[in-house]
Amino acid sequence: MVFLTGYNGFIGSNLRGYFADRKIGYYTRKIDIRNPLPASVIKKGTRTIVNLAGYIPKGSYELDENEKCLAVNLIGMLNLIDAAVLAGVKKIIQVSTIMVYERKSRGKIAEVSKTKPDTFYGLTKLYADKLLQQKAEENRFKYISLRLGFVYGTGMDREYQFGHWLKSAFSGKKLSLFGNKKEYRDYIYVDDVVKSITKAINCEESGIYNIGTGVKYTSECLAKTINREIADNRIEIVDKTENAINIGYVFNIQKAVKCLGFKPEYDLCKGLRELKQINKTRNTS
């Protein structure tokens, strides 16, 4: 049996739907992991916890936002581990992020690459990964940290760049490019993330795994691809960028392919076409 935390979020909502369709046993609890948790919140016989709880600060330099980030991402991880140990849980799966790594100007990021987060969110996720590994070794349970690329799909936050551009494209509004148009990222469709979590549940080995496509898209290329796949090249892209420095994040996913049996099904174009079809179905139903 699998216990899900953070089940109402973007990834959690998609994971619950996937589990329900395939009759995979899971349960949720209405808990606040920022506070110490009794072992009783975990049902007897629970073998695996999937921790999807996470908080991304809305403003990088706002103290209260960073305090929430610390409380959920790191202290919350510790509270969950303590309860899991008392309850005899055999495995904890942590959903982490590509942002624990140092941004690169060339080459792909492997699990052994340098970690150097440049956001407070990335820092808390990095130390949550380290904490999970240490506690797993001390208490002899299995652990997996899935370091995700930039996830998009049904239910994503429309306040961030990708989601905002999707919203604009669906409504026929222009896309505005700001900042560094050559900054690149590894984008992964939420359905592939859900499948990677399922692979991790069934994996008997502990470890850290990069989950992405291994393909980089610059901000400029992302905007053009959204325009082509969602809006059929009908909308204007306004370039308001200030620089063009080739730097960012893209994964080497060979470890996940070999050890988890993970293989992304969606490239960016296929994922966007899927979202377009979902949006069309919703608007006609």
Q: Is 33 left (phi over 0), alpha (psi -120 to 50) or beta?
A: alpha
* pLDDT of res. 274: 96
CA 42 vs CA 23, 31, 248: distances in Å: 20, 11, 39
Domains of the chain, residue spans: 2-284
Q: What is the pLDDT of residues 6-24, one digit of tens each?
A: 999 999 999 999 999 999 9
What is the Cα–Cα distance from 124 to 63, expressed in whole angstroms? 14
Give the tokens for residue 232. 């059929």
Model pLDDT, residue 192: 98
Of 66, 102, 95, give the one whose Cα is nearest residue 80. Answer: 95
112 backbone dihedrals φ, ψ, rounded to 5°: -95, 0
Q: What is d(CA 184, CA 118) in angstroms, rounded to the nearest whole number?
A: 15
Q: In this predicted structure, what is the pLDDT of residue 105?
A: 81
| Predicted pLDDT at 60 | 55
For residue 240, the model assigns a pLDDT of 87
Q: Which residue has the tokens 């991880």?
A: 77
**What letter would DSSP give residue 143?**
E
256, 189 contact by CB (below 8 A): no
- CA torsion 247→213→279→97, rounded to 10°? -70
User: Given this model, what pLDDT does residue 255 score?
Assistant: 98
Q: Which amino acid is at 141?
A: F
What pTM, to 2 d.p., does this model score?
Answer: 0.95
Q: Provide the pLDDT for residue 271.
A: 98
pLDDT for 259 = 97
Q: Are 26 and 1 in contact (CB under 8 A)?
A: yes
Q: What is the mean pLDDT of each run of 10 residues along the chain (285 residues)?
A: 95 96 94 97 97 84 84 98 98 97 92 94 97 98 98 88 92 90 96 98 96 96 96 90 88 98 97 94 78
Question: Nearest CA to 191 among 14, 73, 19, 37?
Answer: 14
**Is the separation of the CB atoms in 92 and 80 below 8 Å?**
yes
Parallel/antiparallel/unpaired status of strands 91-97 and 150-152: unpaired
The top-level CATH class assigned to 2-284 is: alpha beta
